[in-house]
Amino acid sequence: MNHRTVAYAFGLVMLSLALAACAGFDLGDIVKVKTPHEIQQTTGLSSRVSLNEAEAEYRAWFEDVQRTGAQWKASIERAGEIRGLLGQLTLTALDEVGPTLAGVPIAGPALPALTGIVGLFIGSGRLRREKEASFNKGLKEGKSFGGGGSVGG
């Protein structure tokens, strides 16, 4: 092929594309985009879709992911609030029951020790520090009721 034939063929293709674009033909329907495998599984799209379809599907998928993420985040925050409330109720209940059981010979020293040991295994730093403070207070009160002697001796 000589240069003149290539130039005419190129010009004819460009003219055809320009006329098609003027007639409302969208090149986004011709250009294909590869769809990631994970997106294919969640949306049911084929492995290759047109550019126009990919843009529309991407917007819908992205909005769905943002909405789902926001719902999950709100659920996690709500659960954290409930955990904090339950933790405060537990500490309040122990503060109320502790002095009552302090007069009982075995339960008095055992309750702060048990709550302190359980508090050591709880992952929350703030709650652990509160449990340790309660444990130390219980030991101090237990020693004052028990005569300050060692346990088991």
Q: Is the pLDDT of residue 149 over 70?
A: no
Evaluate whether residue 40 is within a structural domain: no
For 69-124, what is each residue's pLDDT tens digit?
Answer: 999 999 999 999 998 888 777 766 666 655 555 555 555 556 666 666 666 665 55
State pLDDT tens for residues 29-68.
788 999 898 888 888 888 999 988 999 999 999 999 999 9
Residue 10 lies in a domain: yes
Structure-block tokens of residue 38: 């994970």
Which pLDDT score is estimated for 39?
A: 86
Per the structure, the complete domain to which residue 16 belongs is given by: 1-27
Residue 51: which of 25, 33, 36, 37 has the closest Cα?
A: 33
pLDDT for 122: 58
Residue 33 host element (H or E): strand 32-34
**Angle subtended at Cα 25 by Cα 22 and Cα 30, rounded to the nearest 5 degrees:** 135
Residue pair 139/112 in contact (Cβ under 8 Å)? The answer is yes
Query: pLDDT higher for 27 or 82?
Result: 82
Dist CA 123 CA 118 (whole Å): 11
Cα(91)–Cα(112) distance, integer angstroms: 12
Contact 79, 53 (CB under 8 A): no
Q: Is the model's pLDDT at 153 over the cut of 60? A: no
pTM check: above 0.85: no
- Residue 17 in any domain: the answer is yes
How much is the pLDDT for 120? Answer: 60
- Please indicate, yes or no, if residue 20 is contained in any of the structural domains: yes
* Distance, CA of 18 to CA of 31 (rounded, Å): 16
Number of structural domains found in the chain: 1
Q: Is residue 134 part of a domain?
A: no
Task: State residue 112's pLDDT score.
Answer: 63
User: Does 1 map to a domain?
Assistant: yes
Residue 152 — pLDDT band, cuts 50, 70, 90? very low
Query: Would residue 35 count as lying in a domain?
Result: no
Task: Give the Cα separation of 100 and 93 in Å (integer).
Answer: 11
- Average of per-residue pLDDT across 144-152: 54
For residue 30, give every residue at least 6 positions away whose Cβ sits within 8 Å of its Cβ, in sequence order, or none: 50
The whole-number pLDDT of residue 34 equals 92
